[in-house]
């Protein structure tokens, strides 16, 4: 269902080319467009990169050029609760959390939609590269952008039917060159700026410095073990490592070592050779099925375990409590607890969940 | 969508008559008033005429009128200029201000304290923002260099009783300054009735242009210039005078005198309608600042419990009504206004402030339309405010 022409639509604006073109397209289609940027929490050292002063200035400039109102809405507290705290807790539990997923679910949709409603807008829009389609049964489907390098459905798998029913993605199937061309046609001189920036809330240091500051106990030295349990060295904190990592281990062997596992109970880093790395199956939790219903039995799907990784065929078996068992056709070296596994059938994004540490 | 402006305390549109008065001084009569030639003489004459006009309307002497670039500059010149002069002459280091001054006064006093060793103390005010006369006397010291108390507050509209306070200062021979940027936009001022030594005014609050202000300096009040250079403005403010804006300010201020009573007669019932409506119809709402007697005639200001004032202003704007909030901040980082927290409001009230300020051309219909949409906007914002 497209909103009727002339109705109010809130567009999340980052100051970058994608959201600027999204706003321009909607304005061009006759909607009453309101530009909004959310003010997000940031480590005290600096402004959050998703709403930094230069980003605000750019977004304001574009809004003025498009002759639409532009507001920056305070979401600092909500962002801290929904994104930053779970990020800190995730590392403390030995995971590598993906904060953008919580941000999309709770801030960029739930929070923004509520503020949009207060502003009198039933719909929100963003500059994501993905498409929403009405399905035969009256629901909504999320589809990939045809360009695998630009497709952002991975981050959008957390959206619900209600979210999709009140969302527009004006860029839909467009390619990046087409969006740049549109920016030129609209006369928008905008720089490239990713719509969301990973770890936008952490200042000049890196996330390890941030964790050391906010939760020192989550970063303590421990043993580096091989798969037989022999001690090979000492690590400086499990948060410093990610599954599949090769560089920076400082341990030489007959062949290169990789991080195979993080044993949070023992605070041990388990390393092994390439052949020992990899899992072919795992559990995923907090599964969101975009159509709102879990399948009653196993289904075949393509599974993406990272934003930039290729999808791999596999089988998804729904379990109780929003869990699912994922069986891949081949083992993958970098299955990382805390990251999302996202399921596709063809162009359709079915949903996804969070990769769990526990082995099958 | 027709947009309705209800933020006249922020700024006002320039009156047509003021524009007409200014126009000849941009292009035809562009001379520098300090020049010897005829071009300069025309400008000098316009400057003199403007100064005399404002002086006459204030009951002051022309030599007591210093043109500046804005109300904030007038505040800076008054406070810095007097503080440094009194220190130089007498070694006095104490500055006494109210806790709800405009940032132009507050931040200036803060800097004098932080960088120059002045000691700043604050007068007690009641919850309406009124300075207590007796408490005032107790706060004066032997080494008080300067007192500054705003005539009317921009955020909460409260009008102070300056004549009583200035009398005390006069008896103690302590210079007293008042920021009358809001007050002077609505009320005729007589410098002897008000009794203060220094008065700041800004033209754009009364349908004059932005970028021009006045500091009234009572004859005999000593102050050091803060902007040094040529000897313009009796040596108090170096700069080639901005003749078109000065001419505009004089015309706009003449109109304040001429039309002041009729403007107030128009504004007060509309203001009272808004205040009564909000207090009756909106749950958990409070009027901030002065009672109807001690309040600017165009000024209605409220706090609403548990409401994001910033979002309310955005929602009202999207409905076509331009208002403001003390905590509003266009970068999305609202803080409770220091005026409201200093008056004792808790953050869950202070963050939910709304200021509605009317203008001489505001109509009954505009006020009715505003009051029609206001309760719904507040309800929607409250639903999402935590």
Q: Do the domains A279-355 and A8-185 match in fold?
A: no
Active site residue B329: yes
Residues A57-78 have a mean pLDDT of: 95
Residues A170-186 have a mean pLDDT of: 95
The backbone torsions φ and ψ at residue B141, rounded to the nearest 5 degrees and listed phi first, read -125, 170
Alpha-carbon gap: B211 to the closest alpha carbon of chain A (Å): 24
Give me the helices (H) in chain B, please. 16-22, 38-58, 71-90, 103-116, 133-139, 162-172, 191-194, 243-281, 309-318, 338-342, 347-350, 364-384
| Residue A195 pLDDT > 60 | no
pLDDT for residue A194: 56
Placement of tokens 């009583």 in the chain: B164
Residues B384, A117: C-beta atoms closer than 8 Å: yes
What is the per-residue pLDDT across A84-96, written as a single tens digit (0 to 9) for each?
A: 999 999 888 877 8
pLDDT for residue A202: 85
What is the per-residue pLDDT across A9-21, written as a single tens digit (0 to 9) for each?
A: 999 999 999 999 9
Q: Which residue has the higher pLDDT, A266 or B107?
A: B107
| Residue B337 pLDDT > 60 | yes
Q: Which residue has the higher pLDDT, B296 or A50?
A: B296
pLDDT for residue A215: 85
pLDDT for residue B247: 98
pLDDT for residue A253: 82
To the nearest 10 degrees (0 to 180), the angle between helices A17-28 and A176-185 is 60
Residues B177-186 have a mean pLDDT of: 98
Q: Which residue has the higher pLDDT, B260 or A227?
A: B260
pLDDT for residue A261: 85
Per the rule left: phi > 0, alpha: psi between -120 and 50, beta: everything else, B321 is: beta
Q: What angle do CA B256, B359, B314 make, to 5 degrees?
A: 145
Q: Which residues of A touch B318 (CB under 8 A)?
A: 8, 34, 69, 119-120
By the CB < 8 Å criterion, does B319 face chain A? yes
Q: How far is the C-alpha of A343 from the C-alpha of A144, rounded, in Å?
A: 11
Q: Which residues of B touch A114 (CB under 8 A)?
A: 383-384
What is the per-residue pLDDT across B110-139, written as a single tens digit (0 to 9) for each?
A: 999 999 999 999 999 999 999 988 889 999
What is the CATH code of the structural domain delimited by B4-11+260-384?
3.90.1150.10
Residues A309-318 have a mean pLDDT of: 95
Query: Which listed residue (B70, B169, B323, B329) is catalytic?
Result: B329
Residues A118, B315: C-beta atoms closer than 8 Å: yes
Q: Which residue has the higher pLDDT, B68 or A148?
A: B68
To the nearest 10 degrees (0 to 180), the angle between helices B364-384 and B309-318 is 130
What is the per-residue pLDDT across B204-219, written as a single tens digit (0 to 9) for each?
A: 999 999 999 999 999 9
- Residue A41's closest chain B neighbor by CA? B333
Alpha-carbon gap: B333 to the closest alpha carbon of chain A (Å): 6
Residues B307-312 have a mean pLDDT of: 94
| Residue B331 pLDDT > 90 | no
Assign domain B16-256 to a CATH class.
alpha beta
The backbone torsions φ and ψ at residue A307, rounded to the nearest 5 degrees and listed phi first, read -55, -45
Q: What angle do CA A94, A98, A99 make, to 5 degrees?
A: 110
Estimate to the nearest angstrom the gap between the alpha carbon of A194 and the chain centroid. 12
pLDDT for residue A196: 54
Instruction: Select from A154, A198, A158 the least CA-distant residue to A304.
Output: A154
End-to-end CA distance of chain A: 42
> DSSP letters along B322-351, please?
E-B-TT--TTS-----HHHHHTT--HHHHT
Alpha-carbon gap: A54 to the closest alpha carbon of chain B (Å): 11
Say what the alpha-carbon torsion angle A12, A13, A17, A22 is, to the nearest 10 degrees: 40
- Residue A74's closest chain B neighbor by CA? B332
pLDDT for residue A295: 95
Which residues of A touch chain B, with CB atoms under 8 Å apart?
Answer: 8, 34, 37-39, 51, 53, 56, 69, 71-78, 114-115, 117-120
In this prediction, the answer to ipTM > 0.90 reads no
Residues B315, A76: C-beta atoms closer than 8 Å: no
> DSSP letters along B100-167, please?
T--HHHHHHHHHHHHHH--EEEE--B-TT-PBPHHHHHHH--TTEEEEE--SB-TTT-BBP-HHHHHH
What is the per-residue pLDDT across A160-170, written as a single tens digit (0 to 9) for each?
A: 999 999 999 99
Q: Which residues of B touch A75 (CB under 8 A)?
A: 332
**Intervals of CATH 3.40.640.10 along chain B:** 16-256
Instruction: Select from B5, B2, B1 the least CA-distant residue to B358.
Output: B5
Q: What angle do CA A347, A349, A353 make, to 5 degrees?
A: 150
Q: Which residues of B touch A37 (CB under 8 A)?
A: 332
To the nearest 10 degrees (0 to 180), the angle between helices B103-116 and B71-90 is 30
Residues B380, A117: C-beta atoms closer than 8 Å: yes
Estimate to the nearest angstrom the gap between the alpha carbon of A288 and the chain centroid. 14
Q: How far is the C-alpha of B297 from the C-alpha of B362, rounded, in Å?
A: 13
Cα dihedral across residues A291, A294, A297, A301: positive or negative: positive
Pair A123, A169: CB distance under 8 Å: no
**Intervals of CATH 3.90.1150.10 along chain B:** 4-11+260-384
Instruction: Read off the pLDDT band of A1 (50, 70, 90).
Output: low
| Residue A32 pLDDT > 60 | yes
| Residue A79 pLDDT > 70 | yes
Q: Which residues of B touch A56 (CB under 8 A)?
A: 331
Active site residue A200: yes
Q: How far is the C-alpha of B177 from the C-alpha of B105, rounded, in Å?
A: 10
CATH 3.40.50.620 fits A8-185, yes or no: yes
Estimate to the nearest angstrom the gap between the alpha carbon of A52 and the chain centroid. 20
For B380, the closest of A8, A34, A118 (CB atoms) is A118
pLDDT for residue B143: 97
Residues B358-369 have a mean pLDDT of: 98
Instruction: Read off the pLDDT band of A45 (50, 70, 90).
Output: low
What is the per-residue pLDDT across B128-173, written as a single tens digit (0 to 9) for each?
A: 999 988 889 999 999 999 999 999 999 999 999 999 999 999 999 9
Instruction: Select from A252, A188, A250 the least CA-distant residue to A221.
Output: A250
Residues B259-275 have a mean pLDDT of: 98
Q: Which residue has the higher pLDDT, A249 or A109?
A: A109
Pair A283, A321: CB distance under 8 Å: no
| Residue B241 pLDDT > 70 | yes
Q: Which residues of A touch B333 (CB under 8 A)?
A: 39, 74, 76
| Residue A197 pLDDT > 70 | no
Pair B341, B347: CB distance under 8 Å: yes
Residues A180-188 have a mean pLDDT of: 94
Q: Find the range with the poorest average confidence among A236-250, B4-18, B141-155.
A: A236-250
Q: Which residue has the higher pLDDT, A239 or A179?
A: A179
pLDDT for residue B373: 97
Pair A97, A87: CB distance under 8 Å: yes
Residues B380, A39: C-beta atoms closer than 8 Å: no
For A39, the closest of B319, B333, B384 (CB atoms) is B333
By the CB < 8 Å criterion, does B335 face chain A? no
| Residue A240 pLDDT > 90 | no
Q: How far is the C-alpha of A333 from the C-alpha of A224, rounded, in Å?
A: 19
For B384, the closest of A37, A69, A114 (CB atoms) is A114
pLDDT for residue B3: 95
pLDDT for residue B35: 97
Q: Which residues of B touch A73 (CB under 8 A)?
A: 310-311, 314, 332
Q: How far is the C-alpha of A100 from the C-alpha of A259, rounded, in Å?
A: 24
Instruction: Read off the pLDDT band of A241 (50, 70, 90).
Output: confident
Q: Which residues of A touch B311 (CB under 8 A)?
A: 73-74, 115, 118
Residues above pLDDT 90, as percent of chain B: 94
Architecture of domain A279-355: Beta Barrel (2.40)
Instruction: Read off the pLDDT band of A214 (50, 70, 90).
Output: confident
For A69, the closest of B308, B317, B384 (CB atoms) is B317
Residues A118, B319: C-beta atoms closer than 8 Å: no
**Model-level pTM?**
0.90
Pair B221, B246: CB distance under 8 Å: no
Task: From the options 2.30.30.280, 3.30.420.40, 3.30.2230.10, 3.40.50.720, give the CATH code of A220-276.
Answer: 2.30.30.280
Q: How far is the C-alpha of B269 from the C-alpha of A244, rounded, in Å?
A: 74
Alpha-carbon gap: B281 to the closest alpha carbon of chain A (Å): 19
By the CB < 8 Å criterion, does B348 face chain A? no
Instruction: Read off the pLDDT band of B1 (50, 70, 90).
Output: confident
3-state secondary structure labels for all residues of A302-330: EEECCCCCCCEEEEEEECCCCCEEEEEEE
- Residue B314's closest chain A neighbor by CA? A71
Instruction: Select from A277, A282, A224 the least CA-distant residue to A248.
Output: A224
Quote the mean pLDDT of chain A: 90
For A115, the closest of B311, B330, B333 (CB atoms) is B311
What is the per-residue pLDDT across A250-292, written as a single tens digit (0 to 9) for each?
A: 888 888 899 988 888 888 999 988 888 888 999 999 999 999 9
Return the domain boundaries, chain A. 8-185, 220-276, 279-355
């Amino acid at each position: 269902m497209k909103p009727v022409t002339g109705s109010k639509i809130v567009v999340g604006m980052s100051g970058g080319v994608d959201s600027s073109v999204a706003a321009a397209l909607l304005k061009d289609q006759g909607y009453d467009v309101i530009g909004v940027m959310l003010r997000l929490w940031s480590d005290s050292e600096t402004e959050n990169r998703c709403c930094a002063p230069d980003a605000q200035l750019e977004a304001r400039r574009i809004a003025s050029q498009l002759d639409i109102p532009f507001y920056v809405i305070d979401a600092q507290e909500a962002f801290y609760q929904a994104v930053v705290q779970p990020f800190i807790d995730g590392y403390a539990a030995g995971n590598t959390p993906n904060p953008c997923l919580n941000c999309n679910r709770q801030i960029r949709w739930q929070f923004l939609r509520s503020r949009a409603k207060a502003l009198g807008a039933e719909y929100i829009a963003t500059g994501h590269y993905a498409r929403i389609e009405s399905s035969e049964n009256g629901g909504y489907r999320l589809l990939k952008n045809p360009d695998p390098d630009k497709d952002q459905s991975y981050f959008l798998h957390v959206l619900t039917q209600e979210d999709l029913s009140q969302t527009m993605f004006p860029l839909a199937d467009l390619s990046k060159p087409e969006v740049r061309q549109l920016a030129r046609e609209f006369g928008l001189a905008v720089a490239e700026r990713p719509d969301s920036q990973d770890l936008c809330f952490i200042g000049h240091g890196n996330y390890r410095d941030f964790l050391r500051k906010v939760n020192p106990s989550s970063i303590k030295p421990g043993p580096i073990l091989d798969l037989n349990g022999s001690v090979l060295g000492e690590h400086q904190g499990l948060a410093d490592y990610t599954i599949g990592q090769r560089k920076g281990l400082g341990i030489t062997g007959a062949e290169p070592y990789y991080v195979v596992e993080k044993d949070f109970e023992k605070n041990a880093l388990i390393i092994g050779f390439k052949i020992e790395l990899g899992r072919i199956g795992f559990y995923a939790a907090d599964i969101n099925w975009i159509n709102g219903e879990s399948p009653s039995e196993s289904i075949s799907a393509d599974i993406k375990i990272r934003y930039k990784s290729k999808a791999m065929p596999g089988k998804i078996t729904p379990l109780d409590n929003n869990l699912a068992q994922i069986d891949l056709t081949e083992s993958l070296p970098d299955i990382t607890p805390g990251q999302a596994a996202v399921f596709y059938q063809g162009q359709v994004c079915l949903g996804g969940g969070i990769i769990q540490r526990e082995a099958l | 969508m027709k947009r309705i402006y209800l933020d006249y305390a922020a700024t006002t549109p320039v009156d047509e008559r003021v524009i007409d008065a200014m126009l000849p001084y941009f292009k035809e009569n562009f001379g520098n008033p300090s020049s010897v030639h005829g071009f300069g003489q025309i400008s000098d004459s316009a400057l003199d005429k403007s100064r005399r006009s404002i002086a006459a309307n204030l009951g002051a002497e022309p030599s007591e009128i210093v043109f500046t670039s804005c109300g904030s500059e007038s505040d800076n010149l008054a406070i810095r200029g007097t503080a440094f002069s009194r220190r130089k002459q007498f070694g006095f280091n104490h500055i006494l201000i109210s806790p709800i001054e405009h940032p132009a006064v507050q931040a200036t006093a803060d800097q004098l304290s932080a960088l120059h060793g002045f000691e700043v103390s604050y007068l007690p005010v009641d919850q309406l923002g009124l300075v207590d006369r007796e408490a005032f006397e107790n706060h004066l010291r032997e080494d008080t260099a300067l007192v500054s108390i705003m005539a009317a507050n921009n955020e909460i509209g409260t009008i102070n009783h300056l004549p009583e306070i200035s009398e005390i200062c006069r008896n103690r021979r302590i210079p007293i300054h008042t920021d009358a940027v809001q007050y002077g936009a609505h009320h005729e001022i007589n410098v002897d009735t008000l009794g203060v030594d220094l008065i700041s005014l800004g033209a754009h609050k009364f349908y004059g242009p932005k970028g021009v202000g006045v500091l009234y300096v009572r004859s005999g009040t000593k102050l050091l210039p803060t902007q040094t250079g040529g000897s313009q403005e009796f040596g108090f403010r170096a700069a080639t005078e901005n003749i078109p804006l000065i001419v505009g300010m004089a015309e706009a201020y003449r109109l304040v005198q001429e039309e002041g009573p009729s403007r107030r007669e128009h504004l007060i019932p509309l203001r009272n309608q808004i205040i009564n409506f909000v207090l009756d119809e909106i749950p958990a709402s409070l009027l901030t600042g002065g009672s109807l007697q001690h309040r600017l005639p165009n000024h209605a200001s409220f706090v609403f419990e548990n409401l994001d004032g910033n979002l309310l202003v955005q929602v009202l704007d999207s409905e076509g009504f331009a208002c403001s909030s003390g905590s509003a901040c266009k970068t999305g980082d609202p803080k409770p206004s220091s005026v409201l927290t200093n008056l004792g409001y808790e953050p869950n009230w202070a963050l939910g402030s709304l200021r509605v300020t009317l203008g001489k051309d505001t109509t009954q219909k505009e006020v009715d339309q505003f009051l029609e949409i206001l309760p719904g906007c507040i309800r929607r914002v409250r639903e999402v405010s935590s």
